Amino acid sequence: MANIRWIGKLIYLALLLAHLLAPIALGQNGREVLVIDAAGPVTPVMLSFIERAIVEADARNVEALVIRLDTPGGSVDLTRRIIQIIIASDVPVVVYVWPPGGMAASAGTFITLAAHADAMAPNTSIGAASPIDGSGADIDETLRAKVENILIADIKGLAERRGDKAIEWAQEAITEAKAASAQEALKIGVIDFIATDLDDLLSQLDGFEVMVGRETVTLQTAEAQVTFLETTTLERVLNTIANPTIALLLISIGSLAIVYEIIHPGGYMSAVVGVILLLVGLYAVGQLPVNYAGLALILLAFILFGAEVFTPTFGALTAGGVAAFILGALILFNTSEFAYQMPLPSIIGIPLALAAIVGLGFRKAIQIMRRQPVTGQEGLIGAIGTVKVALEPQGSVFVLGERWQATSEDGQPIPAGERVRITEMDGFRLKVKKV
Q: Which residues are catalytic?
A: 106, 146
Q: Is residue 192 located within the same domain as residue 303?
A: no
Q: 180, 201, 234: which is the final residue of a domain?
A: 234
The 10 Å CB-count burial string (b at 16+, else e) for 178-187 is bbbbbebbbe
Q: Is residue 54 located within the same domain as residue 179?
A: yes
- Report the residue count for the chain: 435
The amino acid occupying position 35 is: V
Q: Is residue 190 located within the same domain as residue 314?
A: no
What pLDDT is stored for residue 165 in this prediction?
95
Q: Is residue 280 located within the same domain as residue 166?
A: no
Specify the number of domains making up the chain: 3
What pLDDT is stored for residue 307 in this prediction?
82
Which residues, in sequence order, are bridge partners of residue 294? none
Q: Is residue 274 located within the same domain as residue 212?
A: no
The rounded average pLDDT for each run of 10 residues, N- to C-terminus, in the chain (435 residues) is 56 54 51 95 92 96 97 88 96 97 94 97 91 51 74 93 94 93 96 97 96 94 95 90 87 84 76 91 84 88 81 80 90 70 79 78 62 59 88 88 86 89 84 87
Which residues fall within 8 angstroms of residue 279, CB to CB, at 6 or more apart?
A: 254
Q: Is residue 366 located within the same domain as residue 380?
A: no
Q: 370, 394, 425: which is the final residue of a domain?
A: 370
Side by side, the strands of the sheet bearing 93-97 are: 193-194, 117-120, 93-97, 64-70, 32-39, 225-228
Give the span between the Cα atoms of 331 and 308, in whole angstroms. 25
Please check whether residue 308 lies inside any domain of the structure: yes
Please check whether residue 9 lies inside any domain of the structure: no
What pLDDT is stored for residue 291 in this prediction?
83
Please check whether residue 14 lies inside any domain of the structure: no
Give the count of alpha carbons within 13 A of 389, CB side only.
10
- Boundaries of domain holding 301: 244-370
Which residues fall within 8 angstroms of residue 291, CB to CB, at 6 or more apart?
A: 134, 135, 331, 332, 333, 334, 335
Q: Is residue 139 located within the same domain as residue 282?
A: no
Please check whether residue 1 lies inside any domain of the structure: no
Sign of the torsion angle spanned by Cα atoms 401, 405, 407, 412: positive
What pLDDT is stored for residue 25 in this prediction?
46
Q: Is residue 224 located within the same domain as residue 353?
A: no
Please check whether residue 4 lies inside any domain of the structure: no
Q: Is residue 388 located within the same domain as residue 341?
A: no
Please check whether residue 228 lies inside any domain of the structure: yes
Please check whether residue 8 lies inside any domain of the structure: no
Q: Is residue 227 located within the same domain as residue 255?
A: no
Query: 3-state SS string over the chain?
Result: CHHHHHHHHHHHHHHHHHHHHHHHHCECCCCEEEEEEEECCECHHHHHHHHHHHHHHHHHCCCEEEEEEEECCECHHHHHHHHHHHHCCCCCEEEEECCCCCEEECHHHHHHHHCCEEEECCCCEEECCCCCCCCCCCCCHHHHHHHHHHHHHHHHHHHHHHCHHHHHHHHHHHHCCCEEEHHHHHHCCCCCEECCCHHHHHHHHCCCEEEECCEEEECCCCCEEEEECCCCHHHHHHHHHCCHHHHHHHHHHHHHHHHHHHHCCCCCHHHHHHHHHHHHHHHHHHCCCCCHHHHHHHHHHHHHHHHHHHCCCCCHHHHHHHHHHHHHHHHCCECCCCECCCCHHHHHHHHHHHHHHHHHHHHHHHHHHHCCCCCHHHHHCCCEEEEEECECCEEEEEECCEEEEEEECCCCCECCCCEEEEEEEECCEEEEEEC
Q: Is residue 301 located within the same domain as residue 175?
A: no
Q: Is residue 149 located within the same domain as residue 227?
A: yes
What pLDDT is stored for residue 318 in this prediction?
86
